[in-house]
């Protein structure tokens, strides 16, 4: 049977397979073997999806232009151009787009064109059988946190917390995209970006500091603090035990960060994490007043009592310099030196 016919056959059973998964998974936890997607090479085709908020056409075309200049071919369906309230399309259509991208043998990797709310609404509609049978890199950040962590939990497939299509045009971001996805190495230091913009290095949100000193090693999981917290108490809740947990957020006032970190600190598995790594929480700091705390005060107050090696200010998040961090890959972390190293290749040769 040809690859094309296999794709068509697979696409016709997406809905039925999805329903089976909704009933078979429930709240149970299954240990899956880690699966690494194949490395990307020039000439590969990257499928673009918008599983959350609607994307503007100029943002879509910017993503296409950036990827093509990097040597890739691109593909997207008309679903990505839809508009259903604040979503790019209905839940069913957004899920179908992602399912078909995995099932389509002509697609080598999937890049989310943008983030935005909506990914948690489609987790129960994904065809995890098709994803497991057609492993390929899924890349994105922000609300894409829900997708890459859930897919790893359900299938063992390594996903990538990295730039979305509309933010990939930064040189630092492209550099780590290439290093992680195209140039697999057994040991890869994730070096922080050199801040050249005065608006950044004078901004307290970009300051790098140790919360709790120490060294740790474990698998990387995490992403958006809002999404990580939103999945608590659901079948998609992350298990932080013995993991290196990386977190970031955007435009959340200190009291809201306080609330989410307080909730996390009450999760049994979170206090068993090996390390906690904050990126840049852009737009989350406020001036210290008698009626307000700073972002740093909140983070220190909530995280330091856990006595887990922790740091703030690494180069990832809703910022131009967004490194690519693979979910499920073993890494080492030195909180005092603010160093993170991947200890295995994230993609297969």
Active-site annotation, residues: 142, 248, 318
Cα–Cα distance, 37 to 55 (Å, whole number): 27
Cα–Cα distance, 138 to 101 (Å, whole number): 10
Token representation of residue 14: 């997406």
Q: Which residue from 184, 143, 173 is spatially nearest to 67, judged by alpha carbons?
A: 173
Please check whether residue 112 is in contact with residue 139, taking contact to mean a CB–CB distance below 8 angstroms.
Answer: yes
Helix (H) or strand (E) holding 331: strand 330-334
State whether the Cα torsion 229-231-233-236 is positive or negative. negative
> What per-residue string of b and e applies to 120-154 under the rule 16 or more CB within 10 Å gives b?
bbbbbbbbbbbbbebbbbbbbbbbbbbbbbbbbbb
Interior angle at CA 314, CA 311 and CA 317, nearest 5? 120
Q: How far is CA 146 from CA 179, 228, 237, in A?
A: 24, 7, 9
Name beta bridge partners: 210: 311
Q: How far is CA 184 from CA 60, 106, 181, 264, 349, in A?
A: 28, 22, 7, 33, 8
Q: Cα torsion at 148, 218, 316, 280 (round to 10°)?
A: 120
Cα–Cα distance, 281 to 338 (Å, whole number): 16
């Amino acid at each position: 049977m040809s690859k094309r016919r296999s794709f068509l056959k697979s696409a016709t059973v997406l809905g039925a397979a999805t329903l089976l998964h909704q009933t078979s998974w429930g709240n149970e936890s299954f240990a899956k073997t880690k699966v690494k997607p194949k490395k990307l090479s020039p000439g590969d085709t990257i499928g673009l999806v918008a599983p959350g908020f609607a994307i503007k056409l100029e943002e879509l075309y910017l993503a296409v232009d950036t990827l093509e200049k990097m040597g890739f071919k691109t593909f997207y369906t008309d679903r990505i151009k839809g508009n259903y309230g604040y979503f790019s399309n209905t839940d069913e259509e957004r899920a179908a787009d992602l399912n078909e991208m995995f099932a389509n043998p002509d697609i080598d990797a999937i890049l989310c064109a943008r983030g935005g709310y909506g990914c948690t609404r489609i987790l129960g509609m994904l065809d995890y059988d098709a994803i497991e049978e057609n492993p390929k890199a899924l890349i994105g950040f922000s609300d894409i946190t829900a997708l890459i962590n859930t897919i790893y939990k359900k299938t063992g497939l390594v996903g990538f917390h990295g730039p979305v299509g509309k933010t990939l045009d930064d040189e630092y971001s492209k550099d780590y995209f290439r290093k992680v996805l195209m140039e697999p190495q057994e040991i890869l230091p994730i070096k922080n970006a050199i801040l050249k913009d005065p608006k950044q290095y004078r901004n307290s949100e970009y300051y790098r500091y140790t919360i709790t000193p120490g060294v740790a090693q474990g698998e990387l999981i995490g992403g958006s603090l809002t999404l990580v917290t939103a999945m608590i108490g659901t079948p998609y809740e992350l298990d932080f035990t013995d993991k290196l947990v990386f977190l970031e957020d955007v435009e959340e006032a200190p009291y809201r960060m306080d609330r989410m970190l307080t909730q996390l600190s009450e999760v049994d598995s979170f206090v068993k994490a090996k390390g906690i790594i904050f990126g840049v929480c852009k737009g989350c700091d406020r001036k210290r007043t008698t009626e307000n705390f700073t972002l740093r005060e909140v983070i220190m107050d909530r995280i330091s009592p856990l006595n887990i090696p922790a740091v703030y200010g690494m180069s990832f998040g809703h910022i131009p310099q967004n490194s690519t961090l693979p979910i499920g890959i073993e890494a080492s972390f030195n909180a005092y030196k603010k160093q993170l190293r991947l200890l295995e290749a994230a993609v297969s040769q």
